[in-house]
Chain A
């Protein structure tokens, strides 16, 4: 078992790890040795029920590649679906992850999250956002929305092992701007949906609350807009923008009550 990759295919089914219980024990972290020396835990692990899931491989074409490439996908054995209710299996997450690992060399493992990701993608995401801003300023809302969506998509399709905080921030900025663009176009339902996503992603960020309040005003729901602003003010009570807008909304509510 001197090979660095001694890893038994086929795996003896419910869980004994023969190569590790061997003499001398693995040189790995002490937690591993503890585990191997603990028959109770091993027994517990073996007692856990497992189910053999039906699966099959298919070659699925990857969209938007030139020349057309294909990738291996795991699907359910019977219906050839990646997510199948009848077979009670869902391979979506697995296939998603495999997209990122399939081209990696065999020994490669995902880097730990504290490794800095290559800066190109951040640059691209920023560029898309800037293009959106330019279109927004020029008043070309459809192009602005398109660019913001592209920026958000790119931020979301970062490799999943990278720092999640980064992708979250980039996504929320793009969505916040998209909400503003929708607002300008009068598409208030879209603006509201985007603003709510921004809040879910970054609650302490006042801009999300501001956008939500504006969308609600657009929908004519002043009371809710008032509450949204109060929500935002919890995080930054001195925020000028929010306070100004709060006064505006309150004036509107009063006006409405007079009628």
Chain B
């Protein structure tokens, strides 16, 4: 008699427990999946630096804090540009069903975060001086543009190195004439070293035409050029 009751109770208990465990694990996984989006922007180092400096124990000089806040605002300006760019592309893709809802929700979260971040920077700026918050992003946007200019100029050296590498490769593959040209540019031997027969032939295809140099009129004649080549190459960097 006792056994006949114990078996169904055990059966039901086991069933209910296993279902409960399953449901719990399943739901936890679902929740984790929903919240574990990779954030749109990885991290915000400028913000970390500002907050660290602000809460540093021996107080940091105020000019440093202001600089840190400006750098943070500049980073935010770059994010604003990026968000604007991404938004158009994403909207188009989402409408055509090429991008899922999860990506869109990641994006909206990022947008909201950025909005909060901007408001926070504005209020921080106002703690330094009332009214600075209204101007800080105008300043930061100029800073971001200036940084772009600086990056472009710094990049020149890289472009130059790349071109020179390409030139030397070409020289290797094509043979003598370009090697000569190469010598002129890179190692700047004295012009006497170049054989007189070779040098005019080499410079012929690309020799500068003084008439069309637009900077100044009558800049120089080719004959004036030759000694200069040597000097310039040394200070090219």
Contact = CB atoms under 8 A, between A and B. Distances in A.
A-B interaction = yes
Interface of A: 4-7, 9-13, 15, 17, 19-20, 26-29, 31-32, 35, 41, 44-45, 48-53, 55, 72, 74, 89-91, 93-94, 97-98, 101-102, 104, 106-107, 109-110, 112-114, 133, 136-137, 139-142, 145-146, 152, 156, 158, 160-165, 167-168, 171, 175, 177, 180-190, 192-194, 196-197, 200-201, 207, 210, 214, 217-220, 241, 244-245, 252
A210 B214 contact: yes
Among A55, A94, A201, A210, the most chain B Cβ lie within 10 Å of the Cβ of A94
A32 B212 contact: no
B64 to A, nearest CB: 6
B142 A164 contact: yes
A91 to B, nearest CB: 7
Contacts, number: 275
Given A184-B220, A186-B203, A197-B159, A164 B45 contact: no
B119 A41 contact: yes
A219 B235 contact: no
Interface of B: 43-49, 51-57, 59-64, 66-68, 70-71, 74, 112-113, 115-117, 119-120, 122-123, 126-135, 138-139, 141-143, 145-150, 152-153, 155-157, 159-160, 163-164, 167, 178, 181, 184-185, 203, 205-206, 208, 210, 212-216, 218-220, 224-225, 228-229, 231-236
Contact of B53 (A55, A110, A160, A192): A55
A19 to B, nearest CB: 7
Contact of A160 (B44, B56, B146): B146
